[in-house]
Amino acid sequence: MERFPSAAALIAHTKPDRPVLAARPHAAGRAARWFLENFPGEVAYAYKANSSVFLLGALFGAGIRQFDIASLPELEDAATIPGATLHFMHPVKSRTAIRRAYYEFGVRCFALDTEEELAKILEETGHAKDLQLFVRVAVPAKNSRIPLERKFGITGQKAARLLVKTRQVADELGITFHVGSQTTTPDAYVMALEEVRKLIAKAGVVVDAIDIGGGFPSRYSDSEPTPLSAFIEAIRHGFEKLPVGDSCRLICEPGRALVAEAESLIVRVDARKGNDLYINDGAYGALFDSAHLGFVFPVRLVSREPAKDERMVPFSMWGPTCDSIDYMKGPFYLPESIREGDYIEIGNIGAYGRAIASNFNGYGRYEEVILLDEPMYTMYGDARKQVIQNA
Ligand SMILES: Cc1ncc(COP(=O)(O)O)c(C=O)c1O
């Protein structure tokens, strides 16, 4: 894989016809080290966010050994990572997936949110005695860009009953939740842990592990989250209040926070109509979250220096397919003179960008490079003073 000091250096060297996925593995390594040093528990990476071998290598190099996987294909891939412990945290799994996970890949950790799923796991593992079973509870989404509570999770009396049933068959009983992706304030975790506290009291069970899921934020042009250190403190306090023993494990599963800033997308402008730019990747590619969820990623012109004192003006972008929903509203602020043939770096697309890209209309093929400079925005820079001295 070719390495360049920056996106500008890449474009000075070659004018790629395809869009470029530009990884910054050092940024993934830095994020992983930050979590491993500051999170008061175990850190698993949510594999679905980005499975580039370069980023996985950086996460592994930083010390990540646990991975949250969501499907059999992810499991088959992640199982090739030496010494990896894999958690199957999707609450709905096929029977084949459960069976193969347990017998072929040695997975012992499964999530569930119904009695039916519990029965399925037991049947497909031959009523194994070494299962780590995590009941997924639904918690309110607060300041989250992608709330998840409507799709998965159980609450109230039903949750208490499921915990009691699961306790009877689990070697290790856990509770897990997800506050929603890109949660920008820590109060979501405070509220979620308070729900968990009430639930444990209601169920009266011994809980061996709490997995607080992912949801930790990254920075985007339209999102300036609370520093991560405040999340860690809120989680530490919430966990301390739980009626669990000293040996209870605390686990988190960040996806976005570990890889968002570790990849950029470099696109070419193929046409300009007023303040609309037609670029060579879009909603069906690595910009799905921009088109469908309104993420405003940071952008910069990398193929030439703009004129001195040139105005920055807001642009929208259209992707390369014929589809009219292939549209990223923005606003993306770029030099007023931007024109056909220019290249733009779109930063912080490392979480779910590459992972979601499809080949609709024959697109979806990328050049790949490694960049050695800093991401456009970071949650981990010295300027943000986030390292907790006494963690
Ligand atoms: C069970 C589970 N854990 C972790 C994650 C990672 O979430 P995030 O990327 O918001 O950190 C997800 C994302 O959907 C998830 O479903």
Predicted local distance difference test score (pLDDT) of residue 141: 83
Percentage of the chain lying above the pLDDT 70 cut: 97
Residue 347 Cβ inside 6 Å of ligand 1? The answer reads no
User: Is pLDDT above 80 for 325?
Assistant: yes
CB neighbour burial string for 181-202, b if at least 16 within 10 angstroms, e if fewer: bbbbbbbbbbbbbebbbebbee
Residue located nearest, by CA, to atom 3 of ligand 1: 213
Give the CA count within 13 Å in the CB-facing half-sphere of 9.
11
Predicted local distance difference test score (pLDDT) of residue 386: 37
Residue 178 CA, ligand 1 centroid: distance in Å:
7
Q: What is the pTM of this model?
A: 0.95
Residue 49 Cβ inside 6 Å of ligand 1? The answer reads yes
Residue 252 CA, ligand 1 centroid: distance in Å:
10
Residue 238 Cβ inside 6 Å of ligand 1? The answer reads no
Q: Which of 257, 258, 239 is nearest to 249 (CA)?
A: 239
The per-residue DSSP string of 88-103 comes to E--SS--HHHHHHHHH
d(CA 229, CA 39): 9
| Pocket test residue of 42, 48, 146, 258 for ligand 1, highest count of atoms within 8 A of CB | 48
**Shortest-distance atom of ligand 1 to CA 258:** 11
Residue 97 CA, ligand 1 centroid: distance in Å:
19
Cβ–Cβ under 8 Å, residues 295 and 317:
no
Task: Encode pLDDT of 377-390 as tens digits.
Answer: 999 986 444 333 33
Cβ–Cβ under 8 Å, residues 7 and 217:
no
Cβ–Cβ under 8 Å, residues 138 and 153:
yes
Across 362-376, average pLDDT: 96
The token pair at 249 is 């494990």
Residue 311 CA, ligand 1 centroid: distance in Å:
39
Residue 331 CA, ligand 1 centroid: distance in Å:
27
Across 352-371, average pLDDT: 95
The per-residue DSSP string of 254-313 comes to -SHHHHGGGEEEEEEEEEEETTEEEES--TTTTTHHHHHH-----EEE-SSPPPTTPPEE
Residue 253 Cβ inside 6 Å of ligand 1? The answer reads yes
User: Is pLDDT above 90 for 180?
Assistant: yes
Task: Encode pLDDT of 127-176 as tens digits.
Answer: 999 999 999 999 988 888 888 878 899 999 999 999 999 999 999 999 99
**Shortest-distance atom of ligand 1 to CA 256:** 9
The CATH label, of 3.50.50.60, 3.40.50.1950, 3.20.20.10, 3.40.830.10, for the domain at 25-259 is 3.20.20.10
**Could you tell me the residue ranges of all domains in the chain?**
3-22+262-371, 25-259
Prior bond of 91 cis (ω within 30°): no
Predicted local distance difference test score (pLDDT) of residue 223: 92
User: Is pLDDT above 50 for 268?
Assistant: yes
Residue 32 CA, ligand 1 centroid: distance in Å:
15
Q: Which of 261, 182, 165, 264 is nearest to 225 (CA)?
A: 182
d(CA 143, CA 271): 36
The CATH label, of 3.40.50.720, 2.40.37.10, 2.30.29.30, 1.10.150.300, for the domain at 3-22+262-371 is 2.40.37.10
User: Is pLDDT above 90 for 177?
Assistant: yes
Across 311-319, average pLDDT: 98
Instruction: Work out the mean pLDDT of the chain and round it to a whole number.
Output: 95
Residue 211 Cβ inside 6 Å of ligand 1? The answer reads no
Across 109-114, average pLDDT: 98
Task: Encode pLDDT of 34-71 as tens digits.
Answer: 999 999 999 999 999 999 999 999 999 999 999 999 99
Across 188-216, average pLDDT: 97
Predicted local distance difference test score (pLDDT) of residue 148: 80
Q: Which of 14-18, 42-46, 323-327, 385-389 has the lowest mean pLDDT?
A: 385-389
Residue 154 Cβ inside 6 Å of ligand 1? The answer reads no
